[in-house]
Chain A
Amino acid sequence: GQQLNQSPQSMFIQEGEDVSMNCTSSSIFNTWLWYKQEPGEGPVLLIALYKAGELTSNGRLTAQFGITRKDSFLNISASIPSDVGIYFCAGQLPTNAGKSTFGDGTTLTVKP
């Protein structure tokens, strides 16, 4: 089946630093999604990408849909303490009953 490799597994950074994380797949996806999960809550959708090469921003977050359609990147600029959480990538195909394949997550810790 499809598998997503998300890296890094965890990050410990200082407040104000920029963050980069990525997701790679053995298969092509038509949609890439990025979620954030805060402690004790379910994941919340941050950004959705629908086209190869697409670059989309949401505040300090920027995500890109890789040209090969097998990867995606998420960048967070000028991190703040409330950025703490687990970030998940997910890939989706249009004919797959809406099922997403999730990466294992990147745990982000921001030190004030």
Chain B
Amino acid sequence: NAGVTQTPKFRVLKTGQSMTLLCAQDMNHEYMYWYRQDPGMGLRLIHYSVGEGTTAKGEVPDGYNVSRLKKQNFLLGLESAAPSQTSVYFCASSYASGIAYGYTFGSGTRLTVV
């Protein structure tokens, strides 16, 4: 089925470890986003990309890096994980258009940093 696929679905990291979250979409969407979701705080934008080879900072970018080497993939990296990065991470994608069509979200990556 077409959509947004996130891997892995679950991960436990020790403080200081690094990891990369992968997001892949097969809808030929231009825009891609990484959000984190914490209880009572809704969805907060970490980084986003408006096209292959481009990235930009969102609302809460500190401690994260991203890359968009291919249009269909958007990678989120944690170089040195901290307990404050325990969260559920969602990737989303959308068309580039003057009229918003909304996002297609992945099913999330549940990350625990101990």
Contacts and interface: CB of A to CB of B under 8 A. Distances in A.
Interface of A: 1, 6, 30-31, 33, 35, 40-45, 48, 50, 88, 90, 92, 94, 97-100, 102-105
Contacts, number: 68
Interface residues of B, number: 31
Secondary structure dominating the interface of B: loop
B108 A42 contact: yes
Interface string B93-114: 0111111111111111000000
B41 A98 contact: no
Contacts of B104: 45
Interface of B: 4, 31, 33, 35, 40-43, 45, 48, 50, 56, 58-59, 90, 92, 94-108
A62 B100 CA distance: 19
A99 B59 CA distance: 11
